Amino acid sequence: MNREQIRVLLQDVADQTCDVDQALGLLRDMPFEDATVALIDHHRALRTGIPEIIYGAGKTPEQIVMIVERMLASAGHAIVTRASRGAAEAVQQRFPQAHDYAVAHMLAVGEFPPPGPGPFVAVVSAGTSDLGVAEEAALTVELLGTRVERIYDVGVAGVHRLLEQRQRLWQAGCVIAVAGMEGALATVVGGLVDCPTLAVPTSVGYGVSLNGLAALLSMLNSCAPGVSVVNIDNGFGAGVCAHMILRGNRCV
């Protein structure tokens, strides 16, 4: 029962074509998703402005094309993460205007707002092997409309390379630190800046890197203030977090 239906019901009560107990019964039995919960959803959509994202892993190119179509129709744009080459080609064949971000394994179709003028997110990565995850984070932030600065290849085994970038880091409103191996980057970055640091462990490494678990544990145990962590390789998740943090900054 949506708003309009409730209005009609109330009008019927006002018109006395429906008596009070009957209306009460209808209201009580109404699936509350119609009256109330659906509002949550609507409300959310209005406030967040975050388009639904298609998680491409484990979906066939055909499925992805189909979902993109549906999302374009309803929302005017679509983002695909973890897109295989096959998915990228299928989407581009169907939507020649689609952007294929191969390094980040992402696709974007439709219109996206240009990043606004507010504070930016600094995406910092340790090694070239972390590039894919770093780009997934950076692109997510940009597609959501927030500005990004990329500071790549500044692993802490040569800590001076990172220190050289401290001026840019100090201007950021939020830092995303992407690192595999021992994940020490998040701690050193977190100790340099005074804005929130989102740490993204990557599955880069070998031996007991345990597919990123070593970096994850390292980051969770960081002794630097203001560091929180997302799942291994979850550049997208970090991007959404960072955008949410800076959106608060910007609008207020």
Task: Identify residues 128-147 at the interface with a second copy (CB under 8 A).
Answer: 128-129
d(CA 155, CA 91): 35
Q: Does 56 bind a second copy (CB under 8 A)?
A: no
DSSP letter, residue 208: G
Structure-block tokens of residue 236? 């997208």
Within 13 Å and on the Cβ side, how many CA atoms surround 114?
Answer: 1
User: Are 81 and 54 in contact, with CB atoms under 8 Å apart?
Assistant: yes
**Residue 167 engages a second copy in binding (rule: CB under 8 A):** yes
By CB under 8 A, tell whether 89 contacts a second copy. no
CB neighbourhood size of 168 (10 A): 13
State the minimum distance, in angstroms, from the CB of residue 52 to a second copy: 10
> Least Å distance between CB 44 and a second copy?
6
Q: Which of residues 92-121 bind a second copy (CB under 8 A)?
A: 118-119
Kindly state the smallest distance separating residue 153's Cβ from a second copy, in Å.
12
CB of 199 closer than 8 Å to CB of 227 = yes
Binding mask 178-197 for a second copy (x = CB under 8 A): ---xxxx-xxx-xxx-xxx-
CA distance 148 to 168: 11
Map the footprint of a second copy across residues 203-242, applying CB under 8 A: 203-210, 212-234, 237-238, 240-241
Q: Which residues in the 19-38 window bind a second copy by CB under 8 A?
A: 19-21, 23-24, 27-28, 30-33, 35-38
